[in-house]
Structure 1
Amino acid sequence: MPADDLDKTDRAILAALQNDGRMSNARLAETVGLSETPCARRLKRLENDGYIDRYRAVLSRGALGLGVVAFVLVRFAVHDRVVATRFEREVQAIPRILSCHNVSGSADYILQIVARDLDDYGTFMRDELRGLPGVTSVESALSLREVKAYGGLPLS
């Protein structure tokens, strides 16, 4: 179903679940102005149609002792599909790399990385990131303060 086929109620369900993925069906139905059975049917349809990718908990970096967030521009000297595929596979296996995007512009990839502190980040850069397939240079931008975290996708 194309996004244009989502009505106001579908969008309200998706918005409510982006704010609280553990919301009970009863509370969700009340929030969007439906009775429970039609709400459950709509929710199941939204899941089956792929609008809801998965449910997850958002963990606290602070509570887990991950005080450093870095955005890293990764560059390759040679653009070889085999090397890029190996790089992407290895990146997916490293938990401290939260996201990886293949981008246009001066870099080939942008990574979001977490670390306990600057020493931990430096060790990771030296021992792991710089040794990944294809990597010839990296440039880090350290987050000084998070202004907005993942707030969900726009539904308008």
Structure 2
Amino acid sequence: MTSMGTVAVDAFDLKILAALQDDGRLTNQELADIAGLSASQCSRRRSRLEEDGIIQGYHADLANEALGFNVIALVHITLATHSPNNAKRFRDLVLRVDDIQEAFALTGDADYMLKIALRDLKSLSDIVNNVLMPHDSVAHVRSSIVLDCLKTTRKLPLGRPRPAGGR
């Protein structure tokens, strides 16, 4: 058994998690067949993994361009001041803007990086000039447009459990 964070998982759990990362719509019986467990054992394990917060949800993977979101931008933000209150104001802004898919606090030159899905360049201009730049928490905005996505995944590299302190 290995510990992921504070929750212990074993090889059966890892098989269940890996299978669900590939197809979150698997039935308990299909999952049980993959994991080598009975359907009831698998169901109990799946429920425990959900309750423990390891499985945080099930989602449909939507095609950006098919829905008219033709521009993905990565936007680097530098805050005006580095205080807890200013960081909270910026976090609140990020949570209000639906176009922002992901937001990361960073080390290095920028304080944050945002991944934003947009329909077109005009939408990027609007969000940069009318939402981000005028906000009092923001000092500097630098955006990059994604030309091509080489890889995207939400799958974690579960592999085999690693021994504590091992490589």
TM category, shorter:
over 0.9
Task: Report 1:1-156 matches (<5 A).
Answer: 2-3=3-4, 5-156=8-159
Q: Match of 1:126, as an amino acid? A: N
Match of 2:123, SS state, is: helix
**How far did 1:151 drift?**
3.7
Runs of 4+ in 1 over 6 A off after TM superposition: none
- Unaligned 5+ segments in structure 2 are 160-167
Q: Cα offset for 1:75? A: 0.4
* TM-fit CA distance, 1:19: 1.3
Task: Give the deviation of 1:2 after TM superposition.
Answer: 2.9
**Paired residue total:** 156
Q: Percent identity?
A: 38
Structure 1 unaligned spans of 5+: none
CA distance in 2, matches of 1:42, 1:80: 43
CA distance in 2, matches of 1:133, 1:98: 22
Residue 85 of structure 1 aligns to a residue whose secondary structure is helix
What is the CA–CA distance in structure 1 between the aligned matches of 2:80 and 2:130, rounded to whole Å? 20
Tell me the distance in 2 between the aligned counterparts of 1:133 and 1:52.
37
Q: Is this contact kept in 1: 2:80–2:136, CA < 8 A?
A: no
Once residues 18 and 92 of structure 1 are traced to their aligned partners in structure 2, the CA distance between those partners, rounded to angstroms, is 26
SS of alignment partner, residue 2 of structure 1: strand
- Per the normalisation by structure 2, the TM-score is 0.87
CA RMSD in angstroms comes to 1.6
